[in-house]
């Protein structure tokens, strides 16, 4: 059985501690900001900006953890801790893989937002 896109227990805890209405605001912010973060990762890969690479990967990891998006967070953590120079030409493909994980998370969060 595959792992859920969002850990329901983590998400429920977030709603309980932050409040359902605030979680909707967090979702909206994440859905707006994450694509910009992915674009910044792509720019960092293209320009060799290791600082921006690490910063953006860290941000995506942290946001993923907030919502219980464990696969997204794990993939972003791996990018955060892998030097951009070490990834070299593979970096864009890794960003594409992270973007695919984000797409699944975004779809799940949009459903939860309206639940």
User: 81 Cβ partners below 8 Å, 6+ apart?
Assistant: none
Which of 5, 84, 103 lies closest to 41, judged by CA?
Answer: 84
* pLDDT score for 3: 81
pLDDT, tens digit, for every residue of 40-95?
999 999 999 999 999 999 999 999 999 999 999 999 999 999 999 999 999 999 99
pLDDT, tens digit, for every residue of 10-34?
999 999 999 999 999 999 999 999 9
- A 10 A CB-CB count for 7 gives 18
pTM for the predicted model, two decimal places: 0.94
* pLDDT score for 115: 75
51 neighbors 45 (Cβ within 8 angstroms)? no
User: 56 Cβ partners below 8 Å, 6+ apart?
Assistant: 37, 38, 40, 41, 44
């Amino acid at each position: 059985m595959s792992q859920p896109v969002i850990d329901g227990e983590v998400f429920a805890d977030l709603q309980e501690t932050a409040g359902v209405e605030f979680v909707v605001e967090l979702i909206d912010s994440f859905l707006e900001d994450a694509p910009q973060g992915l674009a910044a990762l792509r720019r960092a890969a293209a320009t060799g900006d290791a600082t921006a690479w690490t910063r953006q990967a860290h941000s995506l990891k942290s946001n993923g953890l907030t919502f219980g998006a464990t696969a997204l967070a794990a993939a972003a953590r791996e990018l955060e801790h892998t030097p951009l120079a070490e990834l070299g030409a593979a970096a864009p493909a890794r960003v594409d893989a992270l973007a695919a994980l984000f797409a699944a998370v975004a779809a799940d969060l949009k459903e939860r937002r309206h639940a």
